[in-house]
Amino acid sequence: MDVIRALGAELWKMFAGDLFLTLGTLATVFGLALILGAHIAPAADAPYLLTAIIIGVFVAAVAMSTAREIKRKSDR
Amino acid sequence: MTLFASAGAPGITSAMVDLAAAAPIATASFFASAVEVVEAFTIVLAVSVVRGARPAIIGAAAALAVLVLAVAIFGPLIAEIPIHGLQLTVGVLLLLFGLGWLRKATLRAGGVLPLHDEAAAFVNQAETLRAQASEVAAEWIAGVAAFKAVLLEGTEVVFIVLAVGAKPGLLAPSAMGAAAACILVLGAGLLIRQPLAKVPENSLKFLVGAMLSGFGVFWTSEGLGAAFPFGDWPIAGLVGLFLLCALGLATVLRRVLARSPAWT
């Protein structure tokens, strides 16, 4: 039971450590699938669109984590 | 140039794999697995030093048996998933995994989070084990600690091997990369019998995070039915792009923190 709990905590830490990063990535992929399904953008552009948005999500996640850490430190 | 003759399940394997495709797969799997094996080894070594080799070996061996069983049961199921569905699932998981590592490595390199210290992890684990009261219970707890460490880090290694090698015919180079990492890390560990504190873990996490994120974008895109041009070559460009982006961010973070009154 202890092992299962630790495994669950590890998986939680892996994917929900930064909820914004996880949800942002999932929303990007889901949104892109919808865009491609509805033929709003040509499929040839999709890889570049995906790359650009994912990097944007990553940069935003790092910035948010930094702001959170600075605030935590200044609150102490 | 061809390298490996794959022997995987029918449906997702091809006869021969191009070296250009196999080399980055084996490299990504090697570095990612090395990071996990170093972490597991630190705990197992702490158990062995404090409570003896017996609980450490039994715990680690039991965890390896569970992992082998899990791979034997769930491995063949992967062959049943249609290739586009598999690439999309694996691509998204690699993105979540890789971006998470890259984010943490960037924050550590930028000075926002403290660096992971294997020597400190070893001391913490050893102190926790020494604090256990009764001898019989302590041996049992030590065995469980080794079991947990190997199972948790091993699950990540299995995931990395399956995810990185999810493209037809690439499971063999992926598994070989992970096996080489295990042999190298465990060999070095057994030789020096100390926590592998000198392994530049954050640099490895940087590289591996960029690699997994690059593979993740590539396979998510293929899974969505919108492949990059020029075959597998864009993977190298994507890895480089993520690496540059993370290194640039770490530099910016160091400057921001140097000017932050809360930090200084």
- Looking at A71-75, B92-96, B136-140, B157-161, which range is the least confident one? B136-140
- B116 touching chain A per CB within 8 A: no
Residue B7: pLDDT above 50?
A: no
Residue B119: pLDDT above 90?
A: no
Please report the ipTM that was assigned to this predicted complex.
0.82
Region B18-25: what's the mean pLDDT? 74
- B151 touching chain A per CB within 8 A: yes
Give the DSSP H or E segment for A53: helix A46-75
- B233 touching chain A per CB within 8 A: no
pLDDT band (50, 70, 90) for residue B256: confident
Q: What is the pLDDT of residue A29?
A: 93
Residues of B in contact with A66 (CB under 8 A): 107, 110, 112, 253, 256-257
pLDDT in tens, A46-67: 899 999 999 999 999 999 888 8
For residue B113, give the chain A residue with the closest CA: A69
Q: What is the pLDDT of residue B127?
A: 72
Region B121-133: what's the mean pLDDT? 68
- Looking at B13-27, B39-53, B144-158, which range is the least confident one? B13-27
Residue B237 CA to residue B219 CA, distance in Å, equals 14
Residue B129 CA to residue A5 CA, distance in Å, equals 19
| DSSP code of residue B81 | S
Residue B107 CA to residue B113 CA, distance in Å, equals 6
Residue B111 CA to residue B251 CA, distance in Å, equals 10
Q: Is B165 helix (H, G, I), strand (E, B) or coil?
A: coil
Interface subset of B 12-51, CB within 8 angstroms of A: none
- B58 touching chain A per CB within 8 A: no
DSSP string, A6-37: HHHHHHHHHHHTTHHHHHHHHHHHHHHHHHHH
Residues of A in contact with B227 (CB under 8 A): 47
**Maximum CA extent, chain B:** 63
Identify any residues that bridge with B2 across adjacent strands, giving them in sequence order.
Answer: B18
Q: What is the pLDDT of residue B131?
A: 66
Residue B83 contacts by C-beta under 8 Å, 6 or more apart in sequence?
A: B12, B168
Q: What is the pLDDT of residue B195?
A: 64
Residues of B in contact with A29 (CB under 8 A): 88, 92, 95, 220, 224
Q: Count of CB contacts below 8 A, A vs B?
A: 113
pLDDT in tens, B207-239: 888 988 998 999 899 888 888 887 778 888 999
**In chain B, which residue ranges form alpha helices assigned H by DSSP?**
19-51, 53-78, 83-109, 118-130, 135-164, 171-192, 201-223, 234-259
pLDDT in tens, B188-198: 877 776 666 66
Q: Is B5 helix (H, G, I), strand (E, B) or coil?
A: strand
Q: What is the pLDDT of residue B15?
A: 43
